Structure 1
Amino acid sequence: METDQYLDMFLDESREHLQAVNDNILKLEKQPENIDIVHEIFRSAHTLKGMAATMGFEDIASLTHKMENVLDQIRNYQLTVTTEVIDVIFIAIEYLEDMVQSIGDGKDGKRDVSELVQRLDVIEKGGSSLKEPQGAKEEVAAESVTASIAGLELDGFQMEVVQQARQQGYHVYQSTVLLEDDCILKGARAYMVFEILEKNGEIIQTTPAIEDIEEGNFDQGFSFIYLSKEKEENLKAQILKVSEVKEVDIADFLQEVSGHEESKEDKSSPINKAEMETEKVTTSQKTNKSEGKHQATKTIRVNLDRIDDLLNIFEEVIIDRGRLEVISDKSENQELTETVEHLGRVTSEMQSLILSMRMVPIDQVFNRFPRMIRGLARDLNKNINLEIIGAETELDRTVIDEIGDPLVHLIRNSVDHGIELPETRKKAGKLEEGNLTLRAFHSGNHVFIEIEDDGAGINRDKVQSKAIEKGLITAEEAVSLSNDEIANFILSSGFSTADKVSDISGRGVGLDVVKSKIESLGGEIHIKTQEGKGSIFSIQLPLTLSIIATLLVKVQRETYAIPLSSIIETALLEKEQILHAHGRKVMDFRGQVIPLVSLADVFQVPFEEEAHVKYHAVVVVKKGEQLTGLIVDSFIGQKEVVLKSLGVYLKDVFAISGATILGNGEVALIIDPNALIK
């Protein structure tokens, strides 16, 4: 049976099990005596091993098998949890993550794990027999979910494979093969049996482990669960032809997942198992304490590509809705007008629903940081406590995919430059352990992510001197700026106050790359700092990037769309109200002089002379604390538009973030105000 159809399911669940192992190992390091945590880690490792073996990824199966052995010794009180054990398991997790990523990228997922397997083997053999609490073995045994054949365990993934195989016409057998008592080359005989089996079907699980069987590390027999379209009598006859095979017992595999077993399986898998081929349906029971009843909650798990395809199709509906609105406005047909209005309401609800389907918890980004902080703290000889708040906050998948690297850079910067060494903190009257808080929350149509530390803060004098040196401000201007305004200069291009190059926080490149990435996502970043007390890096991001609210404006005969999220207000200026300073057009905006930029000049729009122009239409846009007025010819009105890429041939066009198709079929370019604010 081909396993390619299960690849998406394998990748999804492998990542979830690895994350579960990662999270629980961090907990175990803080609570080394908590055997319940070890049981959780063991379940995840065991499930991952079974999945990898089923899919034929031997390097993953081999490494997780050795991890499982070490964990088994810990949960049986034969090995103590030490820093060395934790370190090696973390290295193993990194190896496994790399191999799973390799498979996800279409590669074979192979990696030389021999050295790491050897290290785990040394730890396993060095396990000391410690005094076991009474009943410990019984507790471990009770945790095991076993199949009806002795010693075999099937996890949820393997059970799904079994069920799907039956639907495809395969027999599912449980079998035991016994060799002659005087058989010497047991491994060779077992290998010959497996050769026959693999020609006729697929082995799902064995006991003992398949590598032990092939090495002859078993008594006189071994057992397995097997998928095949061959009849059992034919299989039995073929296996009995192998020399020194004494007995073959083959029967239908009858294991069913009972309610008790299902609850056990849920502990080892963060998600419920479901329909194969990525799209999976599950039903879970939740207890309503107030009513004392069970309520069924149905969920469906769909490949993200399908949601993207659905959104692309819906974007075409939005475009057609706009065209219908234009036709309706020109028509005097009341029924058409009412139908279009109803269509508008329905599509708005559909839009909200589809966009919510694209929303994923930011935990997918945050969950990589605890292990990273642990490693950085050890490298820098610092004590750091990481607190994560609001990991359940949801953000558009497009933003999730892009925000990870900027957050890594900011966190590494806080760890390296912000939080002091323990002895320095102690002298300053602080606790030796520094605190780093990663926080996410919703506010309006935006998501805010904050990285806060209780370190040394940003040195105003150092940043101010560098800013003056680079010509960003004059000494006179610096006097009137607040500490936070000065601190934000570290986000300027090429700005760095590092005394020496550091591999930890970016090799002196500065944070301008972070700022550029965040702004390319339609977001903003600001810094608040208090010297000696700490700093907060605050990132504001839009909830979604694909359908945006805009103000349509006219420049000669061309139409442009300006995102509403960047607009402060609009204004009509008389010619006399346009002033000049330092050779540039400016305007007085509520007592503040701000620059004016003509879109006709920026985009070189062909000019058609118009007589008696009395007013200039101006759109005031913001970028952080900076304001700029964009001169246009007229305002058309607000419109929700679909943001479309310009494609590979027109990428990186100055001040243009994309295009959209309007209701009348006209293409309008979408302005990137950030590029126009200087």
Structure 2
Amino acid sequence: MIENNKLRELFVDEVLYHIRQARDFLNKSFESSKDSAEVFKIVKVFHTIKGSAGIMGLEKFTDILHTCETFFQAINKAGYTPETKIKAIKIIDEIETLISNFPDKFDQHLKNLEDIISSKNEDEAPIEKPAENIKKDEIKTSGIKINTDIVAQLRQLAQEVTQIVEYSFSPVSNKEKKKYKDKVSELFQHIENITLVSLEELTPKIKNIAHYTATKLNKDINIDINFNKVGVDKRFFSIVEEALIHLVRNSISHGIESPEVRKEKGKNDKGSIIVTASSHGSKIKITVEDDGQGINIEAITKKAIEQNILTENEAKTASANMLINLIFRPNFSTAETIDNISGRGIGLDIVKERVEAVGGLIKVSTSNKGTKFILEMPVSFNIMYCGILSTKGEKVAIPLYLIDRFISIKEHMLIRDNRSNRIIYNEKEYEHISISNFFATESEYDAIGVIVMGKETVLSFEKYEGEKLFYVKQLTGVITSVPNIIGFAVDDTFRPIAIINPLTISSSNLYPINSTVENQKSIKSKKHTALVADDNNLIKEMISDFLKGENIDADTAQNGVEALKLFKNNNYDIIITDIEMPEMDGISLLKEVRSGNKVVPVIILSSKGDENDIKLALKNGANGYFVKKFFTRENFIKKVKSLL
């Protein structure tokens, strides 16, 4: 096996590209009357991959790929049987898994592939792997690599323009100012769109899984997928993938009837599943709709009573919507037996939890004509339209699309007893939470309430401050440990404002935001900052990671001129610089730093290791010198700590 990492990366990219082509050809061969033409394309794909594997020295993999090629050649001549259809999907699944994890567990994946070819894993469903990992320094969208440093710079520029528009155009009319703001909002949206991952990448896999499930259950389906060029934040991609896999499988397993039953009902023999996506400002909407038998509410009610989720009296008064949403409860299913393909309710609790954790929403509606699931999610973690709620001068923000409606709160609507605070609105009972709870204060009377979309909760507050497009900051080390908070932003007075997730809020898990902000301040006060100057991107990244591991934030510069500009505009606790850099070398940078600042420590990290080079650096004020050839992380960190 070739050890060259660059060649490995090229090999993985190439094979993943071809295997996704094979998925597409496979779906077309299932759906086309002239399937042999598409199968022949799959044969050619395996022949191409086999050649690449041979060049990489992967002899065993090459032999297995030859067997796969022969397998598809046989299908090309004789056509599919249900067994070969299932095997074809499983082969492509396993190769994608093998390559996505290459070279980890390579021998095990080869063994799995051999077993599939010899039909030893007949009853196993296709593997559901999470969306492929995206490297820290780049985002892949439709095959294009995007440098996240450039995106970050664009975001910063857009923020600065926002502030200029807000505070430097006071003579301009409100109408003109709004026009500027709208353009800046549009700029933000375009910047975020650059980093989105296209949902189109999921189409071949979702179709594969649909055909696999239908074949295993002896059902006929048509599946139509139209993502309309919608993209999502790379951090949401695996959540959407997981949700769609569950929903499509459940539609086929528990929604779509058998061809015989459909005939009896006067329906088309083939069931229909339609998956669509659309973009609505800062949110996306994904719909999975089938024309099956719908969700059996009577069966849900019976199971809920059996499991002591509802009493018989509660079941009689419960709304249809409440009963339908019981399918999202953990371990809840109306199926008499659980199979390894799907079960309506099996896994849906996890899907709902993951979707809501990122500020998303999942809804379901049903009738005897079919079932529709709707996912609503923010396009990105980075920008979000929010409504601003305030009580006693303290503010929080809530994503706009999670606001169902505003209501006026009257004293007679409030219920206070040992069941916690509740509120009655339109003869319906809601949990009542005041925004003041987030600040560990009390509000005697909140005049306004907002009903949370998809949740029987009312958030109350004193004043609605309007809507704003926020650039959301994730607070490392804090946001992951504090419930109910999506992120933080800055309001018009440059104060931090928490963006709360109303879907996860309950009176039992409230956590004061002011203590969160104090925690963040204390964390920031402990942090040091560093400036790293080197024209080698790998070195910059490596040193920055080392520093980050020691709770030191690092800014980077490509050369001495760029570093000097950063130094003059910021207060750094330490500087690490190379010597040989374009435009201004490290010694010249050192002299400039020392001419205006005698305190900040400077470490030289260079390929030059002659005695004269070291003496020159120390003579001009360097506090340490590391030769890259003999560099060790331990010694470097030890030196940095001694200088801080």
**Could you tell me the TM-score, scaled by structure 2's length?**
0.63
Q: Is the 8 A contact 1:14 1:100 kept in 2?
A: yes
**Which of 288, 292, 302 does residue 451 from structure 1 map onto?**
288
Q: Tell me which residue corresponds to 1:522.
A: 359
Q: Tell me which residue corresponds to 1:579.
A: 414
- 1:605 paired with 2:424, answer no
Q: Counterparts of 1:472 and 1:415 in 2: how far apart (Å)?
A: 27
**Which of 452, 458, 469 does residue 640 from structure 1 map onto?**
469
Q: Counterparts of 1:363 and 1:456 in 2: how far apart (Å)?
A: 29
**Which of 371, 376, 400 does residue 564 from structure 1 map onto?**
400
Q: Counterparts of 2:175 and 2:250 in 1: how far apart (Å)?
A: 57
Q: Tell me which residue corresponds to 1:666.
A: 495
Q: Counterparts of 1:119 and 1:564 in 2: how far apart (Å)?
A: 48
Q: Which amino acid aligns with 1:316?
A: Q
Q: Which amino acid aligns with 2:489?
A: T
Q: Tell me the SS of whatever aligns to 2:78.
A: coil
Q: Is the 8 A contact 2:142 2:197 kept in 1?
A: no
- 1:102 paired with 2:101, answer yes
Structure-to-structure mapping, 1:505-520, within 5 angstroms: 505=342, 509=346, 511-520=348-357
| Shift, 1:18, TM fit | 0.9
| Shift, 1:424, TM fit | 4.5
Q: Tell me the SS of whatever aligns to 1:22.
A: helix
- Mark the CA change 1:409 to 1:466 in structure 2 (over 3 Å): closer, same or farther: same
Structure-to-structure mapping, 1:73-472, within 5 angstroms: 79-83=77-81, 86-103=85-102, 107=104, 109-111=106-108, 113=110, 302-304=144-146, 306=147, 308-321=148-161, 323-324=163-164, 327-328=167-168, 334=171, 344=181, 347-380=184-217, 382-398=218-234, 399-426=236-263, 428=265, 430=267, 433-442=270-279, 446-468=283-305
- 1:543 paired with 2:379, answer yes
Q: Which amino acid aligns with 2:289?
A: E
Q: Is the 8 A contact 1:279 1:300 kept in 2?
A: no
- Mark the CA change 1:598 to 1:464 in structure 2 (over 3 Å): closer, same or farther: same
Q: Deviations over 1:277-322 (max 9, x none)?
A: 9999xxxxxxxxxxxxxxxxxx995325x2x444444443454455
Count of residue pairs brought into register by the alignment: 486
Q: Is the 8 A contact 2:203 2:225 kept in 1?
A: no
Q: Deviations over 1:69-94 (max 9, x none)?
A: 5556777xxx4334365555444323
Q: Tell me which residue corresponds to 1:273.
A: none
Return 577-586 or 336-345, whichever deviates more: 336-345
Q: Tell me which residue corresponds to 2:341.
A: 504
Segments of structure 2 that go 5 or more residues without pairing to the other structure are 120-136, 508-644
Identity percentage of aligned residues:
25
Q: Counterparts of 2:428 and 2:113 in 1: how far apart (Å)?
A: 64
Structure scoring higher RCO (CA < 8 A, sep ≥ 6) equals 1
Q: Tell me which residue corresponds to 1:488.
A: 325
Q: Counterparts of 1:70 and 1:358 in 2: how far apart (Å)?
A: 39
- 1:21 paired with 2:22, answer yes
- Mark the CA change 1:58 to 1:632 in structure 2 (over 3 Å): closer, same or farther: farther
Q: CA RMSD in A?
A: 4.3
- 1:553 paired with 2:403, answer no
Q: Tell me the SS of whatever aligns to 1:43.
A: helix
Q: Is the 8 A contact 1:596 1:629 kept in 2?
A: yes
Q: Counterparts of 2:79 and 2:16 in 1: how far apart (Å)?
A: 24
Q: Tell me the SS of whatever aligns to 1:386.
A: strand
| Shift, 1:620, TM fit | 0.8
- 1:629 paired with 2:458, answer yes
Q: Deviations over 1:166-196 (max 9, x none)?
A: xxxxxxxxxxxxxxxxxxxxxxxxxxxxxxx
Q: Counterparts of 1:487 and 1:668 in 2: how far apart (Å)?
A: 36
Q: Is the 8 A contact 2:329 2:345 kept in 1?
A: no
| Shift, 1:390, TM fit | 1.0
Q: Tell me which residue corresponds to 2:49.
A: 48
Q: Deviations over 1:535-557 (max 9, x none)?
A: 22222233333200122333446
Q: Counterparts of 1:66 and 1:32 in 2: how far apart (Å)?
A: 26
| Shift, 1:498, TM fit | 2.7
Q: Deviations over 1:42-67 (max 9, x none)?
A: 33223323333444444444333343
Q: Counterparts of 1:572 and 1:452 in 2: how far apart (Å)?
A: 36
Q: Counterparts of 1:516 and 1:545 in 2: how far apart (Å)?
A: 17
Q: Counterparts of 2:271 and 2:75 in 1: how far apart (Å)?
A: 31
Q: Deviations over 1:458-504 (max 9, x none)?
A: 22222123345566666556556664553223223443323233332
Q: Tell me which residue corresponds to 2:554.
A: none
Q: Is the 8 A contact 1:323 1:664 kept in 2?
A: no
Q: Tell me which residue corresponds to 2:613.
A: none
Q: Deviations over 1:566-585 (max 9, x none)?
A: 224556657x5663365665
- Mark the CA change 1:339 to 1:528 in structure 2 (over 3 Å): closer, same or farther: closer
| Shift, 1:442, TM fit | 4.2
- Mark the CA change 1:674 to 1:311 in structure 2 (over 3 Å): closer, same or farther: farther
Q: Counterparts of 1:412 and 1:522 in 2: how far apart (Å)?
A: 24
Q: Which amino acid aligns with 1:92?
A: I
Q: Is the 8 A contact 1:321 1:663 kept in 2?
A: no
Q: Counterparts of 2:414 and 2:114 in 1: how far apart (Å)?
A: 74
Q: Counterparts of 2:257 and 2:406 in 1: how far apart (Å)?
A: 47
| Shift, 1:513, TM fit | 2.0
Q: Which amino acid aligns with 1:407?
A: L
Q: Is the 8 A contact 2:434 2:446 kept in 1?
A: no
Q: Tell me which residue corresponds to 2:504.
A: 675
Q: Counterparts of 2:354 and 2:253 in 1: how far apart (Å)?
A: 21
Q: Deviations over 1:3-49 (max 9, x none)?
A: 53355554333223112212323433565865432442233223323
Q: Deviations over 1:346-376 (max 9, x none)?
A: 5333322222223343232232123223332
Q: Counterparts of 1:324 and 1:102 in 2: how far apart (Å)?
A: 47
- Mark the CA change 1:495 to 1:582 in structure 2 (over 3 Å): closer, same or farther: farther
Q: Counterparts of 1:456 and 1:36 in 2: how far apart (Å)?
A: 36
Q: Tell me the SS of whatever aligns to 1:550.
A: strand
| Shift, 1:419, TM fit | 2.9
Q: Counterparts of 1:542 and 1:115 in 2: how far apart (Å)?
A: 38
Q: Which amino acid aligns with 1:27?
A: K
**Could you tell me the TM-score, scaled by structure 1's length?**
0.61
Q: Which amino acid aligns with 1:102?
A: N
Q: Counterparts of 1:397 and 1:368 in 2: how far apart (Å)?
A: 19
Segments of structure 1 that go 5 or more residues without pairing to the other structure are 123-276, 281-298
Question: Which is greater in Rg?
Answer: 1
Q: Tell me which residue corresponds to 2:13.
A: 12
Q: Which amino acid aligns with 2:20?
A: Q
Q: Counterparts of 1:429 and 1:2 in 2: how far apart (Å)?
A: 61
Q: Is the 8 A contact 1:597 1:630 kept in 2?
A: yes
Q: Counterparts of 1:591 and 1:641 in 2: how far apart (Å)?
A: 36
Q: Which amino acid aligns with 2:216?
A: D
